[in-house]
Amino acid sequence: MLPSSTICAVSTPSGQGGIAVIRISGDRAIAACNNLFIPVRKGISLTDPSVKNKIIFGNVVKANKVIDEVLVTVFRAPSSYTGEDTVEISCHGSPFIQQEILKLLLANGCRMATAGEFTQRAFLNGKLDLSQAEAVGDLIASSSAAAHRMAMQQMRGHYSSMFARLRDDLLHFATMMELELDFSEEEVEFADRRQLLSLASHIEDVINRLSGSFATGNVIKNGIPVAIIGETNAGKSTLLNRLLHEERAIVSDVHGTTRDAIEDTVVMGGVLFRFIDTAGIRNTADRLELLGIERTFRKMEEAAVILWVIDLTGNGILPEAIYEKTHLSDTQQLILVLNKADRLPPECLPEKQAMYQAGHHDVVVISAQSGAGMDKLEEKLIACIPATGENDVIVSNLRHYEALTKASEAVRQVIRGLETGAPGDLIVQDVRECINQLGQITGQQIHTEEVLRNIFRNFCIGK
Ligand SMILES: Nc1nc2c(ncn2[C@@H]2O[C@H](COP(=O)(O)OP(=O)(O)OP(=O)(O)O)[C@@H](O)[C@H]2O)c(=O)[nH]1
Ligand SMILES: [Mg+2]
């Protein structure tokens, strides 16, 4: 069932701006706008079928009073973003004008759009598949060059066509095997088991590679989590402020200043980083401080990169103690940041540096206060970014990742069934399950309103 109501919303950010765009989509879009709009040039009517993909200058009028001078763009179905008749009114960006125009539209039979409803309609009308529609959301939210590239690739459809191909190959086999079942008396084999096995193995490889890219995709989208860890007073909050170029965290010479984790993001080298300043680690009896320190260890576990800040002027924690406390996993990287270099006599530096480098870990010498050495630290951080090629397909959507995980289980079952000579009807069930899961990604297999509403819920209104 395709939606028949006509929806409207302001598609530009809320508040005051130079201009604002109000979008209207649905059967009544053109007629509704025609009721409130008077073109400046005589003899034109929006409802005239020859008016399409055109911009028309005129006035929005309410009870003979001009509300605003606007430009109206008319798109006729199916040549529009949603696939329906669509009008975009570009008005002056005053919140009052926007509200007045919306009220006129509501009075003319339109209703307010829900979040993502324009894109949802584009999907329902076959303008985009589901993964492309989701990429529109990611594109709007992209805050770094890497996230932008990933969303753009998904929107262009390269991503979807790959799933569609895998799904088609599997469908072919499922059909063949089902045909066999119809002829089960005669013991014929339409589906070549060896070919199916090789296809299943190929699909398993592709799925596993894609699932493997999720860790990368996820951090590119949400920011690479970098935890700033160390003893109290080492200069962690000073370093956070320096990395973010703003006074985000309180700095003081009192030990235990930071009690709670403080996070913020910044783009460096085209990639989004999420820096997390934490409570300094020390022995304390203070209950609140202990809670903060517990949180520090949690943040450390979740981080992709750990910046362990060491005060060069202090006695300094020994490298062995750091390794003991960090429990690095295979995917985590540790950078030792030797701070307050400005206060250390230069002749003492080589010895300190050598001591920390002995563990073959990355060591950077900085002064968070003066900014010296920050360029080296930023270089090291950028080097931590997982390498991705221009055309790599990367999964960044949790929903897709979950479908891939289930598809992977199903395809493993297919392979096991083929290897052990399981009966065709059992194998075909697993093939169908795999097809179903791959179809979830592009939306071919999703038919319920509720699932769709959930997916589009995270969009902004007007998109
Ligand atoms: N000379 C010098 N002082 C610094 C430097 N970095 C930080 N400091 C000083 O060291 C003190 C502690 O700095 P913070 O950034 O608050 O240290 P912290 O690691 O966040 O401390 P806690 O929150 O208590 O764990 C402050 O007085 C800072 O001004 C530096 O590079 N050079
Ligand atoms: Mg602090």
251 pocket-lining for ligand 1 (C-beta < 6 Å):
yes
Task: Evaluate whether residue 404 is within a structural domain.
Answer: yes
User: In tens digits, what is the pLDDT along the chain, a chain of 463 residues?
Assistant: 445 799 999 999 888 889 999 999 999 999 999 999 999 999 899 999 999 999 999 999 999 999 999 999 999 999 999 999 999 999 999 999 999 999 999 999 999 999 899 999 999 999 988 888 888 888 888 888 888 888 888 888 778 888 888 888 888 888 888 887 777 666 667 677 888 899 899 989 989 988 888 888 888 888 899 999 999 999 999 999 999 999 999 999 999 999 999 999 999 888 899 999 999 999 999 999 999 999 999 999 999 999 999 999 987 777 778 888 888 888 899 999 999 999 998 898 998 888 888 877 789 999 999 999 999 999 999 888 776 666 677 888 888 999 999 999 999 999 999 999 898 889 999 999 999 999 888 887 666 676 677 777 777 777 7
Q: Are residues 106 and 153 in the same domain?
A: no
Q: Are residues 272 and 356 in the same domain?
A: yes
Ligand 1 centroid, distance to 322 Cα (angstroms): 19
Domain-ending residue, one of 353, 383, 413: 383
Ligand 2 centroid, distance to 249 Cα (angstroms): 7
* Residues near ion ligand 2 (Cβ under 5 Å): 236-237, 257-258
Of the candidates 299, 372, 378, the one whose C-alpha atom is nearest the C-alpha of residue 335 is: 378
Task: Evaluate whether residue 318 is within a structural domain.
Answer: yes
Residue whose CA is at the smallest distance from ligand 1 atom 32: 340
53 pocket-lining for ligand 1 (C-beta < 6 Å):
no
Segments forming the whole domain that contains residue 112: 7-129
Q: Are residues 248 and 282 in the same domain?
A: yes
Task: Evaluate whether residue 81 is within a structural domain.
Answer: yes
d(C-alpha 80, C-alpha 71), whole Å: 17
Q: Are residues 231 and 348 in the same domain?
A: yes
d(C-alpha 78, C-alpha 31), whole Å: 17
Per the listing, tokens 């492309």 go with 132
Q: Are residues 81 and 198 in the same domain?
A: no
Q: Where are the beta strands (DSSP E) in 115-184?
A: none
Q: Are residues 45 and 160 in the same domain?
A: no
CATH number reported for the structural domain that contains residue 108 in this entry:
3.30.1360.120
List pLDDT tens digits, range 253-263.
Answer: 999 999 999 99
Atom of ligand 1 nearest to the CA of 251: 16
Number of domains comprising the chain: 3
Q: Are residues 246 and 365 in the same domain?
A: yes
Task: Evaluate whether residue 451 is within a structural domain.
Answer: no
Task: Evaluate whether residue 17 is within a structural domain.
Answer: yes
Q: Are residues 369 and 280 in the same domain?
A: yes
CATH number reported for the structural domain that contains residue 177 in this entry:
1.20.120.430
CATH number reported for the structural domain that contains residue 369 in this entry:
3.40.50.300
Its pTM surpasses 0.75: no
Of the candidates 383, 381, 353, 384, the one whose C-alpha atom is nearest the C-alpha of residue 239 is: 381
433 pocket-lining for ligand 1 (C-beta < 6 Å):
no
Q: Are residues 171 and 305 in the same domain?
A: no
- Max CA pair span of the chain: 90
Instruction: Give the CA distances from residue 5 to residues 25, 28, 112, 205, 432, in Å, rounded to whole numbers and listed in that order.
Output: 9, 8, 10, 45, 36
Of the candidates 82, 101, 73, the one whose C-alpha atom is nearest the C-alpha of residue 27 is: 82
Task: Evaluate whether residue 77 is within a structural domain.
Answer: yes
256 pocket-lining for ligand 1 (C-beta < 6 Å):
yes
Q: Are residues 55 and 107 in the same domain?
A: yes
Domain-ending residue, one of 113, 129, 145: 129
List pLDDT tens digits, range 29-59.
Answer: 999 999 999 999 998 999 999 999 999 999 9
In 3-state terms the chain splits into helix, strand, coil percentages (rounded to 5) of: 45, 20, 35
Ligand 2 centroid, distance to 128 Cα (angstroms): 48
d(C-alpha 86, C-alpha 78), whole Å: 9
Q: Can you count the helices (H) and strands (E) in the chain?
A: 16, 13
Whether the link from the prior residue into 345 is cis, omega within 30° of 0, is no
Task: Evaluate whether residue 388 is within a structural domain.
Answer: no
Atom of ligand 1 nearest to the CA of 366: 31
Task: Evaluate whether residue 453 is within a structural domain.
Answer: no
Q: Are residues 149 and 123 in the same domain?
A: no
Mutate to test the pocket of ligand 1, among 290, 309, 343, 369 (most ligand atoms within 8 A of CB): 369
Q: Are residues 366 and 436 in the same domain?
A: no
